[in-house]
Chains A and B, each alone.
Chain A
Amino acid sequence: MAATTSSFRFKSLEFILGASLTVLICGAVLLSDVLFPGAEKVNLLSRLVPPLTDIQHVFGTDPLGRDVLARVVAGGKISLLVGFTSVFGAVIFGVFIGLVAGYYRGFWDMLLMRFADLQLAMPFILLAITFIAIVGGSLTNTIILLIVSQWVQYARLVRGSVLTLREREFILSAQAIGVPDWRIILQHLLPNLIGPVIVLMTLNVANNILLESSLTFLGLGVDPTIPSWGGMLADGRTYLQTAWWVSVFPGLAILLTVLGLNLLGDWLRDSLDPTGRTTG
């Protein structure tokens, strides 16, 4: 049944703010090669220039004389790529497992959830070191590692919601009508539990941007010469007392990305929920 009224309200402050922030940041990051062609150019003559003193370096320069603004924009490529793909991968994998385990219960549920418990009990760093030691460090492997370590959160969250939802009468009545299981799962369960998943997603994007940098810092992640927000934060740590701008601007970039995504996420969650919305 096609809804004749659009279910999305675009005229909300959340959407306007969230969308403009996200579009701005993603757009700049995608166009970074055009906007700042020589981001990695080292210029030892202009080291640690404070922001707003040189028109060439609005955000200042880092200890190697590289333009901070150019690096922030270029660094977004790795950070956003890792943040988004790892979260989406974990969501797809975790939500599917959670739905199946929660809906069918029984043996597979027990097996999958005990496996999940086992993995939750394992420290992330231990998992990371083991994993990277076996497959080697690269961008793809970092993303796979993040997916492997995070699907459990989604699976547990979704399974918990399914367990309460499947006792609700509207699921029972769908079963009573004879609706096939896959349709109950996709059309009735999924839309009803997507709200908390979206919230967890937006939080995890930020988390993963930082995790990528910790991995890189430990030498387990991406090639450390490629700029990324997390890597820049880590680099600037030693200069925090003397040159705050080296780490503050990449930090600000993470903050604004997360803010934008959170606003968008909240808007999406509310838009997907018909209660509290009146159709005219």
Chain B
Amino acid sequence: MTIKQAKPLLAVEGLSVEFGNSRVVDDLSFVVQPGKTVAIVGESGSGKSVTSLSIMRLADTMGAKFAAGRIVFGDRDLLKASQKEMRTIRGKEIAMIFQEPMTSLNPVFTIGDQICEVLMLHEKMGKAAAMAEARRLLDMVRLPDSEQLLKRYPHQLSGGMRQRVMIAMALACRPMLLIADEPTTALDVTIQAQILTIMRELQKDLGMGMVFITHDMGVVAEMADEVVVMWKGKKVEQGPVSQIFADPQHPYTRTLLAAVPRLGSMTGEEFPKRLPLTVLENDVPTVVGEERVQDTARYNDVPLLSVKDLFVRFDMRKTMLGKVTHRLSAVSKAGFDIYPGETLALVGESGSGKSTIGRTIQQLQTAHLGEISFNGRSYSAMSAADRFRMRQEVQYIFQDPFASLDPRKTVGFSIAEPINTHGLVSGGKAVRRRVDELLERVGLSSAHADRYPHEFSGGQRQRICIARALASDPKLIIADEALSALDVSIQAQIINLFMDLQAERGLAYLFISHDMAVVEKMSHRVAVLYLGQIMEMGSRRQIFETPRHAYTRRLLSAVPVADPSAERNVTLMEGEIPNPVRRVGDEPAILAHEEIDPGHFVAKSA
């Protein structure tokens, strides 16, 4: 950055925000120059979202008190402005995009009406002029067929399209400052790459300043000019993006960067590796844990789980007489084996059918066709009692650690549930002892058993879910996006926990994820799914080092790289994933696979 320009667009000076007695933002200062992007990074609870809501003065309604500081925008101090004045600034001069495009649009109004509302309110346009402008805005965010889109309702659009509509709305009045609060976190990587490109280009065209809030260091590297690192409400480091990445000063920044999974970091390795972690001990980054090659897979054994020609379909629309007219083919002819001690990753974007496969294996979903066998025995040949036993042998970990624990039950109750259900240990004391052991194994203490889920952080809750999954002593654990909702540093710890448990107990994992960097870190073999079919399957090296299928390559190239100096060579996938709901009789073509290398299968294009 050059010497401070005469007049920054936004200057936050010594801002402190309090909720009740707790100070969530403490003495924060930064400036945003016109046309530049400041990224605020930090983990959940670091105060980054409160900062953005304070700039908009939306934090007031949540009960925030501004204990000290100024937020200077143009000539005025926003903290002194009344809510009435703020209403003329919000949307017009400072616009904001939120994380959830699903909930930020009103479901009962058309897209056109919602964009027009902003224009008519702030720009005092007439209805016809506003509609024309709305269309231009949709074209600007590169939404196809904007004329028709204006008449549609939010639920008819995909997540990526909705987020583009949100951007169009935010830019409707040509704001000078755009605040984006985790705008791409809820989106698939390929869609994320599209949105980030659009945002970058629009920023260049309109010359606006941007405050970009995220926890994803890859996104930071791509978007930011200047980075503010927040930790526990305080700014711990600030600097140009290249400097933060190349030479982080503060111990917290160093641990944060060390924890970021980097795509390509495992190149040349035959097996996944358990790597030591950098953690903060008394504010000093310390490397803990051992480095170990994860050669736990026993390929000479009988496959633990074998899935053959699996089809899962959902009936979407019926005639009045109950005849099915439209179907969603969630999974089409999927087949794979998982060996004891092996981690097989299923990767793909939302709607690719990866969770459906997991749920079918866990018997939460019935298959249309196909065979699943466990230890050489087919599900269909099993008695009801045997199938019940399968729920002990196979465990499922869900994505959202907040939703997958019963809020009304103690953690101890939840962990004891599989033990009691399958009668593994008898007697209240023995069960309690087992629960304590499990809690300690996942890095919590036995005192936690009497507490309720809301008293734990996201990372701790996911540990509790892992303890519950281990409680029944399973052979296979299906982890459905189990790391996606966690902060990177927590994510790294949980990955190591998964690997340690695998080495200890010879567990096999079916690891369902959309995060390619995490998959590269921990899996032995990878299957890439697209619209319910396996596009490519092979060992981790085959998929990541010599990807053959075009879709695998696109998926890999869309992953943001946590290195600001890296040249981006993105073959952007334009458009959206096609709608998988089809008329009966118009089923998607089943692709044949060919084995190009031993164990490396690629779908032949139809």
Chain A CB within 10 Å — which of B392, B400, B408, B421 has the most? Answer: B408
Is B593 at the interface (CB under 8 A from chain A)? no
How many angstroms between the C-alpha atoms of A273 and B407 in the bound complex? Answer: 8
B462 to chain A, nearest CB (A): 12
Interface residues of A in 168-201 (CB under 8 A from B): 168-170, 172-180, 183, 187-188, 191-192
B447 to chain A, nearest CB (A): 10
Is A272 at the interface (CB under 8 A from chain B)? yes
Query: What B residues does A178 contact at CB under 8 A?
Result: 388, 391-392, 418, 421-422
Digitize B408-421: 1 where CB-to-A-CB distance is under 8 Å, 0 elsewhere.
11101100111001
Digitize A124-161: 1 where CB-to-B-CB distance is under 8 Å, 0 elsewhere.
00000000000000000000000000000000000000
Q: Indicate which residue in B398, B409, B412, B451 contacts A188 across the interface (CB closer than 8 Å).
A: B409
Query: What B residues does A275 contact at CB under 8 A?
Result: 407, 452, 454
Digitize B433-474: 1 where CB-to-A-CB distance is under 8 Å, 0 elsewhere.
001000000000000011110110000000001001000100
Is B406 at the interface (CB under 8 A from chain A)? yes
Query: What B residues does A3 contact at CB under 8 A?
Result: 410, 450
B398 to chain A, nearest CB (A): 4
A279 touches B421 (CB 8 A): no
Q: Given A1-B416, A177-B472, A188 and B421 touching (CB < 8 A)? A: no
Q: Given A1-B410, A1-B416, A4-B450, A173 and B398 touching (CB < 8 A)? A: yes
The closest CB in chain A to the CB of B411 belongs to A1
The closest CB in chain A to the CB of B394 belongs to A176
B417 touches A274 (CB 8 A): no
Is B320 at the interface (CB under 8 A from chain A)? no
A177 touches B421 (CB 8 A): yes
Q: Indicate which residue in B422, B431, B449, B452 contacts A274 across the interface (CB closer than 8 Å).
A: B452
Query: What A residues does B468 contact at CB under 8 A?
Result: 173, 177
Q: Given A274-B407, A274-B454, A279-B455, A174 and B417 touching (CB < 8 A)? A: yes
How many angstroms between the C-alpha atoms of A177 and B408 in the bound complex? Answer: 18
A177 touches B418 (CB 8 A): yes
Interface residues of A in 202-217 (CB under 8 A from B): none
A176 touches B449 (CB 8 A): no
Chain A CB within 10 Å — which of B400, B406, B431 has the most? Answer: B406
Is A242 at the interface (CB under 8 A from chain B)? no
B275 to chain A, nearest CB (A): 30
B372 to chain A, nearest CB (A): 15
B409 touches A187 (CB 8 A): yes
B432 touches A279 (CB 8 A): no
A274 touches B408 (CB 8 A): yes
Is A12 at the interface (CB under 8 A from chain B)? no
Is B62 at the interface (CB under 8 A from chain A)? no
Is A5 at the interface (CB under 8 A from chain B)? yes
The closest CB in chain B to the CB of A2 belongs to B428
Query: What A residues does B428 contact at CB under 8 A?
Result: 1-2
B406 touches A176 (CB 8 A): no
B404 touches A173 (CB 8 A): yes
Is A225 at the interface (CB under 8 A from chain B)? no
Is A278 at the interface (CB under 8 A from chain B)? yes
A179 touches B404 (CB 8 A): no
Interface residues of B in 96-132 (CB under 8 A from A): none
A1-B450, A170-B404, A172-B364 given. 9 additional CB < 8 A pairs?
A1-B435, A5-B450, A169-B398, A169-B399, A169-B404, A178-B391, A179-B421, A188-B409, A277-B452
